[in-house]
Structure 1
Amino acid sequence: MQNLSPRLAAAADLPSDSPADHPAWLRLKQAVEALRPLQSKDGSIDLAAIDRQTVDPLLDTVLASIAELAPLFPHDAAYLDAVQADLRKWAETGYREPDFLDSLLAFQPAAERVDGLAHLVVFPMYTQNGNPDRNLEAVLLNVVWPEWLAELERTRFDNPMFVPITFTDFTAGYDTNSAVLFPETVAVRKAPERFTWGGIFCDREAARFRAVSGAAVELLGLEIPADAAALIADQQRAQQTFVLWDLVHDRTHSHGDLPFDPFMIKQRSPFWMYGLEELRCDLTAFKEAVRLEAEGYEQGRDVQYAILFDRMFRFPVTGGRVRNYDGLGGQLLFAYLHQHDALRWRDNKLSIDWTRVAEVTNALCGEIEDLYRAGIDRPKTAHWIAAYQLVSRYLTPHPASTWAKGPEALPLDVTEPKALNKALCDAVLPDEFPLSMFFEALSKKLGGVIAATTGITGAGLQEAAA
């Protein structure tokens, strides 16, 4: 049995009732929901327009509720003390733009990853793929850290910052498509020198995957193996699948033959560069999953199914078409499998050659890895062009594309590096690689199912699928 620290042992001895049913949580959630509409985009509250006597009682309720809930989370004592202090400092400034750096630094969920460990999280933050404003949010969550995953992380896929989590309850910013809890979304006076954790909600990912994949399989008449059908039918199994996929995907951003800045955070790049990076990480996870399956890990086969179905059925038809880099990656995987005869669309039915799909998918991974390996010897502009050529071998560019006309059509006469980068990015169309006729039709058929997954968790899957 796993040895627990004194703080975690104390948490394990607490009553097992869900904190989501605690009266203090219900008061906290209600007060946060009342505060959020009062905030501006940057998280501040304009006291010239809103009576302070409206705001202060709500904040007092938030503070009292956190204090009442804190004994349920002894492992988070330092953080919960710090977040109360940051809330008080916010009020003392007159609710100017919030600064929760001190409490952010005190919150360290990756330090003690224990399966089922609960956390209460309160921050002013935006929610990625959710609410773009830095509103106050409150979230109850649990860590997912089964022993088999912990062993793989210790021995094979080292990723000390990775924290897979599930929702218990949340405020409105997470009643969205957001499936992550990232420290960089929190309102702070300055960014920390380094981030030490990142949370991914595997229950939302799994529920969304199950709803969309199930609908797509039925709609397309796709015959799938029995174990794939069992995966789509089982929320817990799907969650275990996503924690492994996410573990390998997340670490891949810093492993392999990489360009100087694989995340492309500090540079403006054409959106297909982001699409290739995300797809590379997924296909690396696929390749590792093939190896794990051969070694007897049942989750390995499940990860392969999840990557194929999520990438091909959900990603291309989710979100807008303006620089949709995840959609681009899904389109590319589908086209590559189709053009290498591992996937066929005939008689209004989709079929997959399950004996060849792993081989062909790994071949696409190899092409992207070759692009990356050669990239270290190329100037940035040449690397962008080479990446475009890879994508356009399999996806048809927009007929009006400047990039599709070749390097001679690009503004390469601009000599100043930053100006050249901007000119090249400005030459990219918002939808440089439009959806094929197949995906245009699929988008119309699956649009309602995808829209219904907003805010979904495992508990809400049946309602969303209906």
Structure 2
Amino acid sequence: MTDVLSLADRNDSRGAPVVAQPAWRSLKAAVEEIRTWQRADGSVDLDAAGAPPRASVAAAVSAIAAAVEELSPLLPHDTDYHRALVADLRRWADAGFGVPDFLDSLLAFEPARERTDGRQHLVVFPMYTQNGNPDRNLEAVVFRMVWPDWLAELEATRYDNPLFCGITFEDFTSGYDTNSAVLFPETVAVREVPERFSWGAIFCDREAARFRRVSRAAVELLGVDLPDEVRGLMDDQLRSQDAFVLWDLIHDRAHSHGDLPFDPFMIKQRQPFWMYGLEELRCDLTAFKAAVELQSEGVAQAIDVQHAILLDRMFRFPVTGERSRNYDGLGGQLLFAYLHRDDAIRWTDNTLRIDWQLAREATGALCTEIEQLYRDGIDRPKLVHWQAGYALVSRYLAPHPASKWARGAEALDLTKQPRELVDDVLPDEFPLSMFFEALAKKLKNVIAETRGIRAAA
């Protein structure tokens, strides 16, 4: 059964708001000050021209530590983490503000150990923000867990994912005033990478807010006639958040489920970006298929997941971000082209028409095609598998006319290692179609407005 909490009720359901405390404002101000002094690796060069006095940096770090100690009693579940955080901050200061190492506090932070809906967490880490700031600046974030009973039951009984955390923003420093919607331990500056991580968090409120803003604009531009249930989804932030947290739960676990010819998250491999695009799309389509099953069983959020995947993938993904090896954009282009080929969508008389039932069937077929690619890939050499992936994509998307990969093996220097052949991939190997070029221009300002977006009730 769907929780009936309003957005405001859910956000206030556990504990006094940390962000309302003067100590949070002091902490945030000190972090923002330190960020201006840090280099890309997170260090502060005290000998550089115009560098701040060591005493000023030390005072700012001390202010952060003091604020954490003052706020920590509001968050007793994070006591061990906050104690380790203060120790890491002071050790960084004592060592002269070199490249930061927050491994001890990172290992002490375990939000997935007890996922309680509405629970607050305060974290401070030197980190880069994915799709945001590439430098390992100090960041501070206050967030709340999204773990309603219906989601907890599905995770416990159907979609086991013990490391996954759905979360929402309370407040954040500048690294999250960007397009970043994840909090991953892999981004934190540490002396050595742990053998495994114990959590991964996705801001479903930002994802939902971006989806709502961009989808509404695209629907208006394209004249899409939406069913009432889809329009209701785009008008409701909490409902959209619930769709995204379920989507993300299933997507995340899909990376390590199925016939996989490679490292599940591709972290240790250098591959052409279309392979990353196919992997992300496979995981989204896996979530789509699961949502179709859940809908037949009466799970209220399941139909919303299907609509969110279709609209976000088709409208926002292809026109968001730079065109340089944009694998999420490629996946969105591929889904749109596949549905268009099967007449599930038609662009006629400057109006986009969606056959929702046919789109559901075609989406499942595309997932099956990618799954077959993966199954066959288990018996292929790496380069042959990459070529097969290229062939799949290029059946539906036109490669760049200058592409070496499009001309086949004879155009590639096969004396090179496969990872070296990645350099022969063009930055925009599969350019936008004329349809998406026009849409990108019209949605440009809307996309820009979603930078750093906060959820609206």
TM-score by length of structure 1 reads 0.94
Does structure 1 residue 54 correspond to structure 2 residue 48? no
- Distance 1:74-1:429 versus aligned 2 partners, 3 A rule: same
The separation in 2 between residues aligned to 1:264 and 1:14, in whole angstroms, is 38
The separation in 1 between residues aligned to 2:218 and 2:360, in whole angstroms, is 20
- Per the alignment, residue 359 of structure 1 pairs with 361
CA drift of 1:95 comes to 0.5
Q: 1:411·1:423 contact (CA, 8 Å) conserved in 2?
A: no
Q: Secondary structure at the match of 2:357?
A: coil
- Per the alignment, residue 188 of structure 1 pairs with 190
- Per the alignment, residue 464 of structure 1 pairs with none
- Per the alignment, residue 10 of structure 1 pairs with none
- Per the alignment, residue 417 of structure 2 pairs with 420
The separation in 1 between residues aligned to 2:153 and 2:15, in whole angstroms, is 27
Q: 2:208·2:240 contact (CA, 8 Å) conserved in 1?
A: yes
Q: Deviations over 1:38-73 (max 9, x none)?
A: 011111111113211221111111111111101000
- Distance 1:242-1:385 versus aligned 2 partners, 3 A rule: same
Amino acid aligned to 1:167: F
Q: Deviations over 1:75-104 (max 9, x none)?
A: 000000000000000001000111100000
- Per the alignment, residue 163 of structure 1 pairs with 165
Of residues 206, 209, 217, the one that matches 1:207 is 209
Q: Deviations over 1:277-328 (max 9, x none)?
A: 0000000000000111111112110000100111000000001111000000
Q: Secondary structure at the match of 2:36?
A: helix
Q: Secondary structure at the match of 1:113?
A: coil
Aligned residues: 444
The separation in 1 between residues aligned to 2:196 and 2:62, in whole angstroms, is 32
Of residues 107, 111, 118, the one that matches 1:116 is 118
Does structure 1 residue 442 correspond to structure 2 residue 457? no
- Per the alignment, residue 248 of structure 2 pairs with 246
- Per the alignment, residue 429 of structure 2 pairs with 432
- Per the alignment, residue 453 of structure 1 pairs with 450
Does structure 1 residue 77 correspond to structure 2 residue 79? yes
The separation in 1 between residues aligned to 2:383 and 2:43, in whole angstroms, is 41
Q: Deviations over 1:197-239 (max 9, x none)?
A: 0010000000000000011011100011110000000000000
Q: Secondary structure at the match of 1:355?
A: helix
The separation in 1 between residues aligned to 2:16 and 2:121, in whole angstroms, is 14
- Per the alignment, residue 22 of structure 2 pairs with 23
CA drift of 1:392 comes to 0.3
Q: 2:139·2:175 contact (CA, 8 Å) conserved in 1?
A: yes
CA drift of 1:426 comes to 1.7
The separation in 2 between residues aligned to 1:53 and 1:266, in whole angstroms, is 41
- Distance 1:76-1:316 versus aligned 2 partners, 3 A rule: same
CA drift of 1:16 comes to 4.3
Q: 1:14·1:72 contact (CA, 8 Å) conserved in 2?
A: no
Amino acid aligned to 2:162: P
The separation in 2 between residues aligned to 1:101 and 1:185, in whole angstroms, is 11
Of residues 270, 275, 286, the one that matches 1:268 is 270
The separation in 1 between residues aligned to 2:15 and 2:340, in whole angstroms, is 50
Of residues 266, 276, 279, the one that matches 1:277 is 279
Q: Identity of aligned pairs, percent?
A: 68
Of residues 321, 324, 346, the one that matches 2:323 is 321
CA drift of 1:15 comes to 8.7
- Per the alignment, residue 134 of structure 1 pairs with 136
The separation in 1 between residues aligned to 2:66 and 2:219, in whole angstroms, is 49
CA drift of 1:406 comes to 1.8
- Per the alignment, residue 291 of structure 1 pairs with 293
Amino acid aligned to 2:438: A
Q: 1:141·1:165 contact (CA, 8 Å) conserved in 2?
A: yes
Q: Secondary structure at the match of 1:127?
A: coil
The separation in 2 between residues aligned to 1:303 and 1:264, in whole angstroms, is 25
- Per the alignment, residue 37 of structure 1 pairs with 36
Q: Deviations over 1:344-394 (max 9, x none)?
A: 000000001112111000000000000000000111111011110000000
Q: Secondary structure at the match of 2:130?
A: coil
Q: Secondary structure at the match of 1:38?
A: coil
- Per the alignment, residue 392 of structure 1 pairs with 394
CA drift of 1:262 comes to 3.0
Q: Secondary structure at the match of 2:356?
A: coil
Matches within 5 A, 1:6-17: 16-17=15-16
The separation in 2 between residues aligned to 1:56 and 1:409, in whole angstroms, is 57
TM-score by length of structure 2 reads 0.95
Tell me how large the CA RMSD over aligned residues is: 1.4
- Per the alignment, residue 231 of structure 1 pairs with 233
The separation in 2 between residues aligned to 1:409 and 1:163, in whole angstroms, is 45
Amino acid aligned to 2:141: V
Q: Secondary structure at the match of 1:110?
A: coil
- Structure 2 alignment gaps of length 5 or more: 1-11
- Per the alignment, residue 6 of structure 2 pairs with none
Q: Secondary structure at the match of 1:458?
A: coil
Amino acid aligned to 2:306: Q
- Structure 1 alignment gaps of length 5 or more: 1-12, 462-466
